[in-house]
Amino acid sequence: MQLQITVRPARPADYDDVARITLDSYVAAGYYGDPEHPYLRQLRDVAGRAEHADVWVAERGGTVIGSVTVASAGGPFADIAYEDELEMRTLVVDPAVQRSGAGKSLVKALVDHARSREGINAVALTTGATWESANALYRATGFDRVPERDWFVPGTDIKLLVYRREVGQS
């Protein structure tokens, strides 16, 4: 029997798990080969991230197995969100349990949260052009590509893709 996945706000006691899962996910997927890459160091600072955005975790059987960050437009952790959007950032699932439903559970919780917020009509996100499993997850969970909003990592030729999902209001 598969244990239920619960999504909840991260607590400071979860930050080490979130940092480890983030590093393991990004390195295992080949996004950044060097664990000391400046962007990975920034993402491992979960306490710093939580000062500027909401960090949530997916938990199964009392173990943190994934995380997502929810950023509001105009905040220091939002890159692309318009005023009527929440931005989904840093969705990660422990490589040992990927394809367990944790990623979909995190996306569903974020979309439900966005739907409950007055003035929020959509969730937007950025992902790498070559990140096939991430792109497949976003398509499977109702996100549409918004190619006119694609952008490049500053100072590089790394193209980032933008997806958006309308949420409507409940």
Q: Give the model confidence (pLDDT) of 17-64 as tens digits.
A: 999 998 888 777 766 667 777 777 778 899 999 999 999 999 999 999
Domain membership of residue 141 (yes or no) is no
- Considering the entire predicted model, what is its pTM? 0.90
Among 57-61, 127-131, 158-162, name the most confident range. 57-61
Domain membership of residue 73 (yes or no) is yes
Domain membership of residue 169 (yes or no) is no
Higher pLDDT, 166 or 37: 166
Higher pLDDT, 79 or 2: 79
What single letter denotes the amino acid at residue 55? V
Angle of helix 132-140 relative to helix 102-116, nearest 10 degrees, comes to: 50
**163 - beta bridge partners?**
125, 145
Higher pLDDT, 133 or 58: 58
Contact 24, 59 (CB under 8 A): no
Domain region containing 57: 5-125
The tokens of 89 are what?
A: 């950032």
Domain membership of residue 143 (yes or no) is no
Number of structural domains (the chain) is: 1
CATH number at residue 121: 3.40.630.30
